[in-house]
Structure 1
């Protein structure tokens, strides 16, 4: 069951989207204590992330980012706040590069 599903379209193309995704990964690891794994594919990439109470993925394509996350019991109480903050940060990252 996905607690948070977020999709953002972009016009970056895959190479620039990969660069932005790697910046997101670094922030997730350093600021949020996430453990992340980046898997590069021919037409799309995936970041898997987790920490206590949160697991999920970010799909990266040439025209969109799709984030799906599951929140553990304790984090689920903050779902709305987490979702709002994730959306704000994704939008900010995208507007800084476009």
Structure 2
């Protein structure tokens, strides 16, 4: 099993950051049939082969995900795509 662990700085207000994370989660849900929900300031997401969290911290996001056996082989491209989306949404 492979893990992804990304810290990404941002300058958005908590409300703006939460809205941007929600937009990303909705797209992922539609595209990959992923379930998600908020627990305080952490967005939890899961689907077969992936279990992860996006923690909203002051001036930083912490993205973690555990990839199942089949998706472990795709860790590099998945992590690159997460970083691209974070840069797009949060600069």
Settle same-fold status: TM greater than 0.5. Answer: yes
Displacement of 1:2: 6.3
Q: 1: distance between equivalents of 2:88 and 2:22?
A: 15
**Alignment gaps of 5+ in structure 2:** none
What TM-score do you get using the length of structure 1 for normalisation?
0.85
Relative contact order higher in (CA < 8 Å, ≥ 6 apart)? 2
TM-score of the superposed pair, with normalisation by structure 2: 0.91
Note the residue ranges of structure 1 that are not aligned, 5 or more in a row: none
The change in CA–CA distance for 1:2 and 1:17 in structure 2 (over 3 A counts) is farther
Alignment of 1:1-98 (within 5 A): 3-40=3-40, 45-95=41-91
- State which drifts further: 72-81 or 25-34: 25-34
CA distance change for structure 1 residues 56 and 7 in 2, over 3 Å: closer, same or farther? same
Runs of 4+ aligned structure 1 residues displaced above 4 Å come to none
Q: CA RMSD in A?
A: 1.4
Aligned residues: 91
Partner of 2:88, secondary structure, is helix
